[in-house]
Amino acid sequence: MSYENYLGVIKQFEREVKRPSKLNTIADVYSSPSDFRAVQAICTHCYLSVEAAACLWGIERCIRSRASMFIGYDGRWSVAQCWANLSDSTNHKNNINESRFKKWAAMNNDWSDFYHRTLEFLKLCRLKGLNFSHESLYDVIKMRDNTMKKYEDGSYLRVPKPELFNIAMWTEFSESSKFF
């Protein structure tokens, strides 16, 4: 249900999302009043933390406002499947894209690092011509936000493992890399 709410927020702020942006860090998302209002709307309608909403809004703006970053959402792959495809595109023993995925999927409390690594991932996808599902990007950020909330309230050990961000991403990545 909240993905539909997110699409409603994107539609509400359609003009702002297409405005040229230089959101190189997650802190840049808070620099404009219209961006701040969009982050607040995402928090309210999608039940995300402020950091997760800012990360999602910044990524969305980067994708939609820069022609060099525009990625078509054709729904063929999830984000983890695109990472697996990027990893298998080089035949090196020590694959640099796989190590980037490991750093991206690692659970730490730093949303700005995750944001920066996701922008790097988007540039690689654009370079290789990979498209992924828009809903998958939303789901990844929602899952990471929920996992971080579990860390903060101390209920991390009681959550079923497939619902945790890092474990779910690793599972999907390893399953997907078998097919590429």
Which of 143-148's residues contact partners 24+ apart within 8 Å by CB, and which partners?
143/168, 144/52, 144/114, 145/48, 145/49, 145/51, 145/52, 147/107, 148/49, 148/52, 148/107, 148/109
* Residue 180: predicted pLDDT: 43
Q: Mean pLDDT per 10-residue run, the chain (180 residues)?
A: 86 86 83 91 93 92 70 69 74 64 77 88 82 84 85 68 69 64
* Residue 66: predicted pLDDT: 65
Q: What is the DSSP letter of 132?
A: -
**Residue 75: which region, alpha, beta or left (left: phi > 0; alpha: psi -120 to 50)?**
left
* Residue 179: predicted pLDDT: 47
- What would the pLDDT profile of 94-122 be if each residue is shown by its tens digit? 566 677 787 887 777 788 888 988 888 88
Rounded CA-CA distance 121/82 in Å is 9
Tokens standing for residue 82: 């695109």
* Residue 80: predicted pLDDT: 82
Cα-based distances in Å from 156 to 44, 107, 108: 24, 12, 13
* Residue 21: predicted pLDDT: 72
* Residue 148: predicted pLDDT: 83
pTM over 0.85: no
